[in-house]
Amino acid sequence: MTICSISTAPGIGAIAVVRVSGPDAFRIVGTLTSDAARFAELPANTAKLVALYDGDALVDQVVAVKYAAPHSYDGDDMVELSCHGSPYIQKRLLELLLQRGCRLADRGEFTLRAFMNGKMDLPQAEAVADLISSQSESAHRLAVRQLKGGFSRKIGELREEFVRLAALLELELDFSEEDVEFADRWQLRQLLAHLREEVQRLTRSFHTGNALKNGVPVAIVGQPNVGKSTLLNALLDDDRAIVSDIPGTTRDTVEETLLVDGTLFRFIDTAGLRASDDVIENSGIERTLRAAANADVIFYLVDAATATPDSVGAELATLRRVVPLDGKQVLLVVNKVDAAPAPVRLLPPEETVGEVRISAKGRQHLDGLRDTLTRYVAAHHVGDDTLLTNARHYDLMLKIGDDIDRVERGLTTGLPTDLVAEDVRGILDKLGQLTGAITTDDVLDTVFGKFCIGK
């Protein structure tokens, strides 16, 4: 079936792109020209100015590019029409294409056809959606690496090792009547240990990969009236959060995003931490603790006029009791230094968190905060290692990890070889689901249903 869709964003623009793909794409578009035979003779991969008509009425002059199968995005014959960006022209062209035998494309159907035609595997198809939605350099870099096959190559390497493991076990089954053991159990456990380490590394990388893809969460935490909302406004250079001298003004979390050195950060202004009899304020404090627990970076604010080494030590100790700080980048932010100087050192000697002194109201010395975020990016940079960014991949990796544990228990306890081999085949099946070598309609609907129409 030949499909069509507008592939550019809705609205008025200088140019819009209408995409037509399928076995009748060339013929159907040709019927809109004054000379269908001449259009059929146009060479592929060449842009040509073409007039499109509704009967004798000119609809638009467009730039048409023909792509002959299999040398197109989706592997089928395809025509891309760059028309003027009038919503009327776009709508009219779609109507004419539908009248001549096209149907409207479903979400992601062009990329689905590319997958079905072997132009890309499933992780690469998912990377197309990530590339379209990327909002930062880090997210873009992750999507490009996956689009180029980095994740698929890593899964392919894992699969080869599991195939070798399965082959040794299957060989034993072929000679089971002769009681021959081809696979040394100690060597198999060593191989499994290596494979488990690789799978666990990929599984652990999901937290970082997902944060770099969707925005690194930064919680701005502290007692009431230390300047948390003022700091959020200063970082954003906008009056996003309400600022008041009345303690407890912020009752809910306020979230905004900011790009720093090509990485998207999600700043979360939170309710002040204190004992309160106010039900609503306590609900806000509970949300503060959840935000801090889920954050990768915590800016803990104190007031330069009132903070002392003892009070800072007590506040950080309290924070540690209610929020696990392991693995988080925590920074003590001494605010309002323009109003009152703080002691030379506020952090207890045993504290390992960093410290920076600022004036959020005066928007002074904020570079120290940005430096902390830059260090986070450097510590979690997108290097050569493969990072998981997709929840589907993460879920399958968790299941593969469980299967590896089951295989190891089977080898250790002397489980019959046929049962151990069955568990290894289960791992290979899940690796096939990762790459799309094994798929179901439900998986494809879930993956491609997230795409925009026209891609």
Confidence (pLDDT) at 343: 64
Question: Please, what sign has the CA dihedral across residues 401, 407, 408, 413?
Answer: positive
DSSP character at residue 389: -
In a domain, 455, yes or no: no
Confidence (pLDDT) at 1: 92
Query: Based on the domain organization, do 201 and 231 belong to the same domain?
Result: no
Query: Based on the domain organization, do 366 and 222 belong to the same domain?
Result: yes
Query: Based on the domain organization, do 414 and 434 belong to the same domain?
Result: yes
Number of folded domains that form the chain? 3
Confidence (pLDDT) at 279: 54
Which among 212, 164, 247, 159 has a CA at the least distance from the CA of 435? Answer: 159
Domain closes at, from 326, 354, 379: 379
In a domain, 67, yes or no: yes
CB 349 within 8 A of CB 359: no
Query: Based on the domain organization, do 231 and 349 belong to the same domain?
Result: yes
Query: Based on the domain organization, do 246 and 365 belong to the same domain?
Result: yes
58: β partners: 53
pTM score above 0.85 = no
In a domain, 311, yes or no: yes
We report the CATH number of the domain holding residue 154 as 1.20.120.430
Phi/psi of residue 75, nearest 5 degrees: 90, -5
**Structural domain range at position 20:** 3-105
Query: Based on the domain organization, do 159 and 176 belong to the same domain?
Result: yes
Which among 60, 54, 76, 55 has a CA at the least distance from the CA of 17? Answer: 60
Determine the Cα–Cα distance for residues 102 and 192; give it in Å rounded to an integer: 52
Query: Based on the domain organization, do 355 and 302 belong to the same domain?
Result: yes
In a domain, 281, yes or no: yes
Residue ranges of the chain with per-residue pLDDT less than 50: 241-251
CB 268 within 8 A of CB 284: no
Instruction: Give the strand pairing for 263-269 and 254-260.
Output: antiparallel
Query: Based on the domain organization, do 338 and 229 belong to the same domain?
Result: yes
Query: Based on the domain organization, do 29 and 68 belong to the same domain?
Result: yes
Confidence (pLDDT) at 186: 73
What the block records as the tokens of 173 is 């089954």
Query: Based on the domain organization, do 205 and 226 belong to the same domain?
Result: no
Confidence (pLDDT) at 253: 64
Determine the Cα–Cα distance for residues 343 and 304; give it in Å rounded to an integer: 8
In a domain, 385, yes or no: no
Phi/psi of residue 417, nearest 5 degrees: -60, -35
Query: Based on the domain organization, do 334 and 190 belong to the same domain?
Result: no
Confidence (pLDDT) at 273: 67
Determine the Cα–Cα distance for residues 4 and 76; give it in Å rounded to an integer: 13
We report the CATH number of the domain holding residue 52 as 3.30.1360.120
Domain closes at, from 53, 84, 105: 105
In a domain, 57, yes or no: yes
Which among 31, 8, 52, 39 has a CA at the least distance from the CA of 101? Answer: 31
We report the CATH number of the domain holding residue 280 as 3.40.50.300
In a domain, 123, yes or no: no
Query: Based on the domain organization, do 231 and 293 belong to the same domain?
Result: yes
399: exposed, middle or buried (Cβ count in 10 Å: 0-12, 13-18, 19+): middle
What the block records as the tokens of 284 is 């806000």
In a domain, 53, yes or no: yes
